[in-house]
Structure 1
Protein backbone atom coordinates (compact mmCIF):
# COMPACT_ATOMS: atom_id res chain seq x y z
CA UNK A 1 0.00 0.00 0.00
CA UNK A 2 1.24 3.46 -0.82
CA UNK A 3 2.26 5.56 2.20
CA UNK A 4 0.19 8.51 0.94
CA UNK A 5 -2.94 6.38 0.89
CA UNK A 6 -2.25 5.12 4.40
CA UNK A 7 -1.63 8.66 5.66
CA UNK A 8 -4.86 9.80 4.07
CA UNK A 9 -6.82 6.92 5.61
CA UNK A 10 -5.25 7.72 8.96
CA UNK A 11 -6.18 11.41 8.76
CA UNK A 12 -9.77 10.57 7.76
CA UNK A 13 -10.57 7.71 10.15
CA UNK A 14 -8.15 8.06 13.07
CA UNK A 15 -10.44 10.05 15.37
CA UNK A 16 -13.59 8.00 14.87
CA UNK A 17 -11.72 4.70 15.11
CA UNK A 18 -10.07 5.90 18.31
CA UNK A 19 -13.47 6.82 19.80
CA UNK A 20 -14.89 3.45 18.76
CA UNK A 21 -11.97 1.56 20.30
CA UNK A 22 -12.11 3.72 23.42
CA UNK A 23 -15.82 3.00 23.77
CA UNK A 24 -15.03 -0.72 23.60
CA UNK A 25 -12.10 -0.83 26.00
CA UNK A 26 -12.50 2.28 28.16
CA UNK A 27 -8.76 2.93 28.41
CA UNK A 28 -6.94 5.62 26.48
CA UNK A 29 -3.63 3.83 26.19
CA UNK A 30 -5.24 0.58 25.11
CA UNK A 31 -7.38 2.40 22.52
CA UNK A 32 -4.32 4.20 21.16
CA UNK A 33 -2.36 0.94 20.96
CA UNK A 34 -5.23 -0.79 19.17
CA UNK A 35 -5.60 2.16 16.80
CA UNK A 36 -1.92 2.04 15.86
CA UNK A 37 -2.07 -1.72 15.47
CA UNK A 38 -5.12 -1.33 13.19
CA UNK A 39 -3.22 0.98 10.86
CA UNK A 40 -0.16 -1.25 11.02
CA UNK A 41 -2.35 -4.13 9.83
CA UNK A 42 -3.67 -1.83 7.11
CA UNK A 43 -0.11 -1.13 6.03
CA UNK A 44 0.76 -4.83 5.95
CA UNK A 45 -2.43 -6.50 4.78
CA UNK A 46 -4.96 -4.10 3.29
CA UNK A 47 -6.65 -5.80 0.39
CA UNK A 48 -6.09 -3.73 -2.74
CA UNK A 49 -9.56 -4.16 -4.19
CA UNK A 50 -11.49 -3.51 -0.99
CA UNK A 51 -14.44 -1.23 -1.73
CA UNK A 52 -15.30 0.02 1.76
CA UNK A 53 -12.10 1.01 3.55
CA UNK A 54 -13.97 2.44 6.55
CA UNK A 55 -15.84 -0.79 7.25
CA UNK A 56 -12.65 -2.80 6.72
CA UNK A 57 -10.74 -0.65 9.24
CA UNK A 58 -13.56 -0.98 11.78
CA UNK A 59 -13.59 -4.73 11.29
CA UNK A 60 -9.81 -4.92 11.82
CA UNK A 61 -10.03 -2.69 14.93
CA UNK A 62 -12.89 -4.75 16.35
CA UNK A 63 -11.09 -8.03 15.74
CA UNK A 64 -7.91 -6.73 17.35
CA UNK A 65 -9.86 -5.63 20.41
CA UNK A 66 -11.58 -8.99 20.84
CA UNK A 67 -8.36 -10.89 20.26
CA UNK A 68 -6.67 -8.78 22.93
CA UNK A 69 -9.66 -9.24 25.22
CA UNK A 70 -9.48 -13.00 24.86
CA UNK A 71 -5.76 -13.01 25.66
CA UNK A 72 -6.12 -10.93 28.78
CA UNK A 73 -9.45 -12.46 29.90
CA UNK A 74 -10.52 -9.35 31.71
CA UNK A 75 -13.65 -7.27 31.86
CA UNK A 76 -14.04 -4.10 29.88
CA UNK A 77 -13.89 -1.13 32.16
CA UNK A 78 -15.16 2.10 30.73
CA UNK A 79 -15.53 5.63 31.77
CA UNK A 80 -13.38 8.34 33.15
CA UNK A 81 -14.37 11.02 35.63
CA UNK A 82 -14.01 14.63 34.65
CA UNK A 83 -12.31 17.04 37.00
CA UNK A 84 -14.28 20.15 37.83
CA UNK A 85 -12.77 23.58 37.93
CA UNK A 86 -12.76 25.40 41.27
CA UNK A 87 -14.00 28.59 39.58
CA UNK A 88 -17.40 27.17 38.63
CA UNK A 89 -20.46 28.56 40.34
CA UNK A 90 -22.66 26.28 42.42
CA UNK A 91 -25.28 26.36 39.68
CA UNK A 92 -22.78 25.39 36.99
CA UNK A 93 -21.40 22.69 39.23
CA UNK A 94 -24.85 21.23 39.89
CA UNK A 95 -25.72 21.30 36.18
CA UNK A 96 -22.46 19.62 35.32
CA UNK A 97 -23.00 16.93 37.96
CA UNK A 98 -26.53 16.27 36.70
CA UNK A 99 -25.35 16.12 33.09
CA UNK A 100 -22.52 13.75 34.03
CA UNK A 101 -24.98 11.57 35.92
CA UNK A 102 -27.23 11.41 32.84
CA UNK A 103 -24.24 10.38 30.71
CA UNK A 104 -23.24 7.75 33.24
CA UNK A 105 -26.76 6.37 33.31
CA UNK A 106 -26.90 6.26 29.51
CA UNK A 107 -23.59 4.42 29.60
CA UNK A 108 -24.97 1.97 32.20
CA UNK A 109 -28.10 1.47 30.10
CA UNK A 110 -25.97 0.76 27.01
CA UNK A 111 -23.82 -1.67 29.02
CA UNK A 112 -26.98 -3.60 30.00
CA UNK A 113 -27.60 -4.41 26.34
CA UNK A 114 -26.26 -7.61 24.85
CA UNK A 115 -22.85 -7.18 23.19
CA UNK A 116 -24.01 -7.01 19.57
CA UNK A 117 -26.68 -4.41 20.39
CA UNK A 118 -24.09 -2.35 22.29
CA UNK A 119 -21.78 -2.34 19.31
CA UNK A 120 -24.56 -1.38 16.91
CA UNK A 121 -25.58 1.58 19.10
CA UNK A 122 -21.95 2.70 19.50
CA UNK A 123 -21.18 2.42 15.80
CA UNK A 124 -24.45 4.00 14.70
CA UNK A 125 -24.66 6.93 17.08
CA UNK A 126 -21.12 7.57 18.23
CA UNK A 127 -19.27 6.72 15.03
CA UNK A 128 -22.02 7.72 12.59
CA UNK A 129 -21.75 4.52 10.59
CA UNK A 130 -24.49 3.42 8.20
CA UNK A 131 -26.40 0.19 8.71
CA UNK A 132 -24.63 -1.25 5.68
CA UNK A 133 -21.20 -0.45 7.16
CA UNK A 134 -22.18 -1.89 10.54
CA UNK A 135 -23.47 -5.02 8.82
CA UNK A 136 -20.11 -5.47 7.09
CA UNK A 137 -18.22 -5.09 10.37
CA UNK A 138 -20.45 -7.47 12.34
CA UNK A 139 -20.95 -9.97 9.50
CA UNK A 140 -24.75 -9.69 9.60
CA UNK A 141 -27.34 -8.30 7.18
CA UNK A 142 -28.33 -4.62 7.13
CA UNK A 143 -31.88 -5.72 7.95
CA UNK A 144 -30.58 -7.53 11.03
CA UNK A 145 -28.72 -4.34 12.03
CA UNK A 146 -31.96 -2.35 11.65
CA UNK A 147 -33.94 -4.80 13.80
CA UNK A 148 -31.25 -5.03 16.49
CA UNK A 149 -30.90 -1.22 16.57
CA UNK A 150 -34.67 -0.85 17.00
CA UNK A 151 -34.71 -3.40 19.83
CA UNK A 152 -31.66 -1.82 21.46
CA UNK A 153 -33.29 1.64 21.44
CA UNK A 154 -36.43 0.17 22.94
CA UNK A 155 -34.39 -1.48 25.71
CA UNK A 156 -32.42 1.72 26.29
CA UNK A 157 -35.64 3.69 26.70
CA UNK A 158 -36.94 1.13 29.21
CA UNK A 159 -33.64 1.14 31.15
CA UNK A 160 -33.55 4.93 31.26
CA UNK A 161 -37.17 5.09 32.48
CA UNK A 162 -36.34 2.61 35.25
CA UNK A 163 -33.43 4.77 36.29
CA UNK A 164 -35.64 7.87 36.40
CA UNK A 165 -38.17 6.02 38.57
CA UNK A 166 -35.42 4.92 40.95
CA UNK A 167 -34.03 8.45 41.09
CA UNK A 168 -37.48 9.88 41.77
CA UNK A 169 -37.97 7.29 44.53
CA UNK A 170 -34.72 8.34 46.19
CA UNK A 171 -35.78 12.00 46.05
CA UNK A 172 -39.12 11.21 47.70
CA UNK A 173 -37.47 9.49 50.66
CA UNK A 174 -35.30 12.54 51.47
Structure 2
Protein backbone atom coordinates (compact mmCIF):
# COMPACT_ATOMS: atom_id res chain seq x y z
CA UNK A 1 0.00 0.00 0.00
CA UNK A 2 1.41 3.38 -0.97
CA UNK A 3 1.73 6.18 1.56
CA UNK A 4 -0.87 8.34 -0.21
CA UNK A 5 -3.39 5.49 -0.09
CA UNK A 6 -2.61 4.99 3.60
CA UNK A 7 -3.27 8.66 4.36
CA UNK A 8 -6.55 8.53 2.43
CA UNK A 9 -7.55 5.44 4.44
CA UNK A 10 -6.70 7.26 7.69
CA UNK A 11 -8.72 10.27 6.57
CA UNK A 12 -11.76 8.12 5.77
CA UNK A 13 -11.52 6.31 9.10
CA UNK A 14 -11.22 9.67 10.86
CA UNK A 15 -14.48 10.80 9.27
CA UNK A 16 -16.12 7.55 10.42
CA UNK A 17 -14.75 8.08 13.93
CA UNK A 18 -16.16 11.59 14.05
CA UNK A 19 -19.64 10.33 13.14
CA UNK A 20 -19.28 7.44 15.60
CA UNK A 21 -18.40 9.74 18.52
CA UNK A 22 -21.19 12.18 17.70
CA UNK A 23 -23.68 9.29 17.49
CA UNK A 24 -22.50 8.19 20.95
CA UNK A 25 -23.28 11.60 22.48
CA UNK A 26 -20.09 13.59 21.99
CA UNK A 27 -20.47 17.18 20.89
CA UNK A 28 -19.18 18.01 17.43
CA UNK A 29 -16.24 20.00 18.87
CA UNK A 30 -15.21 17.25 21.28
CA UNK A 31 -15.49 14.60 18.58
CA UNK A 32 -13.31 16.65 16.24
CA UNK A 33 -10.69 17.19 18.95
CA UNK A 34 -10.56 13.49 19.81
CA UNK A 35 -10.36 12.45 16.15
CA UNK A 36 -7.61 14.98 15.51
CA UNK A 37 -5.59 13.59 18.44
CA UNK A 38 -6.05 10.03 17.15
CA UNK A 39 -5.15 11.01 13.57
CA UNK A 40 -1.98 12.80 14.69
CA UNK A 41 -0.97 9.90 16.93
CA UNK A 42 -1.35 7.40 14.09
CA UNK A 43 0.58 9.61 11.66
CA UNK A 44 3.41 10.08 14.17
CA UNK A 45 3.81 6.33 14.75
CA UNK A 46 7.00 4.82 13.42
CA UNK A 47 5.26 1.78 12.00
CA UNK A 48 2.47 1.52 9.46
CA UNK A 49 -0.32 -0.81 10.51
CA UNK A 50 -1.95 -3.05 7.92
CA UNK A 51 -5.31 -1.79 6.64
CA UNK A 52 -7.25 -4.53 8.47
CA UNK A 53 -5.74 -3.51 11.84
CA UNK A 54 -5.72 0.27 11.62
CA UNK A 55 -9.51 0.74 11.96
CA UNK A 56 -9.87 -1.23 15.25
CA UNK A 57 -6.74 0.49 16.59
CA UNK A 58 -8.07 3.97 15.82
CA UNK A 59 -11.49 3.18 17.31
CA UNK A 60 -9.89 1.89 20.50
CA UNK A 61 -7.68 4.98 20.86
CA UNK A 62 -10.63 7.30 20.16
CA UNK A 63 -12.80 5.57 22.75
CA UNK A 64 -10.06 5.79 25.38
CA UNK A 65 -9.32 9.46 24.64
CA UNK A 66 -13.02 10.33 24.77
CA UNK A 67 -13.46 8.60 28.14
CA UNK A 68 -10.35 10.31 29.54
CA UNK A 69 -11.55 13.68 28.27
CA UNK A 70 -14.96 13.19 29.90
CA UNK A 71 -13.38 12.24 33.21
CA UNK A 72 -11.12 15.30 33.16
CA UNK A 73 -13.98 17.60 32.18
CA UNK A 74 -16.20 16.22 34.96
CA UNK A 75 -13.45 16.72 37.55
CA UNK A 76 -12.77 20.27 36.34
CA UNK A 77 -16.49 21.05 36.25
CA UNK A 78 -16.85 19.98 39.87
CA UNK A 79 -13.85 22.03 40.99
CA UNK A 80 -14.83 25.14 39.08
CA UNK A 81 -18.44 25.05 40.24
CA UNK A 82 -17.19 24.81 43.78
CA UNK A 83 -15.06 27.96 43.48
CA UNK A 84 -16.55 30.15 40.79
CA UNK A 85 -20.18 29.92 41.88
CA UNK A 86 -20.92 31.29 45.34
CA UNK A 87 -22.30 28.49 47.48
CA UNK A 88 -23.06 27.83 51.09
CA UNK A 89 -20.08 26.62 53.06
CA UNK A 90 -19.95 22.87 53.17
CA UNK A 91 -18.25 20.77 55.77
CA UNK A 92 -15.12 19.15 54.39
CA UNK A 93 -12.33 17.05 55.68
CA UNK A 94 -9.26 19.04 56.85
CA UNK A 95 -7.11 17.67 53.98
CA UNK A 96 -9.75 18.65 51.44
CA UNK A 97 -10.05 22.06 53.09
CA UNK A 98 -6.36 22.74 52.47
CA UNK A 99 -6.64 21.81 48.78
CA UNK A 100 -9.86 23.78 48.45
CA UNK A 101 -8.32 26.91 49.89
CA UNK A 102 -5.28 26.48 47.67
CA UNK A 103 -7.45 26.09 44.56
CA UNK A 104 -9.54 29.09 45.57
CA UNK A 105 -6.38 31.20 45.90
CA UNK A 106 -5.10 29.95 42.52
CA UNK A 107 -8.36 30.81 40.76
CA UNK A 108 -8.57 34.21 42.47
CA UNK A 109 -5.06 35.04 41.21
CA UNK A 110 -6.22 34.51 37.63
CA UNK A 111 -7.26 37.57 35.67
CA UNK A 112 -10.99 38.31 35.46
CA UNK A 113 -10.85 37.40 31.76
CA UNK A 114 -9.34 34.00 32.53
CA UNK A 115 -11.93 33.40 35.24
CA UNK A 116 -14.65 34.32 32.74
CA UNK A 117 -13.35 31.82 30.17
CA UNK A 118 -13.30 29.07 32.80
CA UNK A 119 -16.81 30.00 33.87
CA UNK A 120 -18.12 30.04 30.29
CA UNK A 121 -16.58 26.66 29.46
CA UNK A 122 -17.04 24.62 32.61
CA UNK A 123 -19.99 26.19 34.40
CA UNK A 124 -22.15 27.51 31.60
CA UNK A 125 -21.12 24.64 29.31
CA UNK A 126 -20.50 26.81 26.27
CA UNK A 127 -18.71 25.31 23.30
CA UNK A 128 -15.33 26.55 22.12
CA UNK A 129 -17.00 28.26 19.14
CA UNK A 130 -19.55 30.02 21.38
CA UNK A 131 -16.81 31.31 23.66
CA UNK A 132 -14.78 32.46 20.65
CA UNK A 133 -17.78 34.32 19.27
CA UNK A 134 -18.59 35.95 22.63
CA UNK A 135 -14.99 37.02 23.24
CA UNK A 136 -14.32 37.88 19.58
CA UNK A 137 -11.25 35.63 19.34
CA UNK A 138 -10.50 32.52 17.28
CA UNK A 139 -11.47 29.00 18.34
CA UNK A 140 -7.84 27.84 18.46
CA UNK A 141 -7.13 30.88 20.64
CA UNK A 142 -9.81 29.77 23.10
CA UNK A 143 -8.45 26.21 23.13
CA UNK A 144 -4.94 27.47 23.80
CA UNK A 145 -6.09 29.77 26.60
CA UNK A 146 -8.01 26.91 28.27
CA UNK A 147 -4.97 24.66 27.92
CA UNK A 148 -2.74 27.29 29.52
CA UNK A 149 -5.24 27.92 32.32
CA UNK A 150 -5.37 24.21 33.16
CA UNK A 151 -1.55 24.21 33.22
CA UNK A 152 -1.52 27.25 35.55
CA UNK A 153 -3.93 25.52 37.93
CA UNK A 154 -1.84 22.34 37.92
CA UNK A 155 1.33 24.37 38.42
CA UNK A 156 -0.29 26.14 41.37
CA UNK A 157 -0.77 22.74 42.99
CA UNK A 158 2.83 21.81 42.23
CA UNK A 159 1.85 19.08 39.77
CA UNK A 160 3.73 18.51 36.54
Q: With the length of structure 1 as denominator, give the TM-score of the two structures.
A: 0.37
Q: With the length of structure 2 as denominator, give the TM-score of the two structures.
A: 0.40
Q: Say which structure, 1 or 2, has more relative contact order (CA 8 Å, 6+ apart).
A: 1
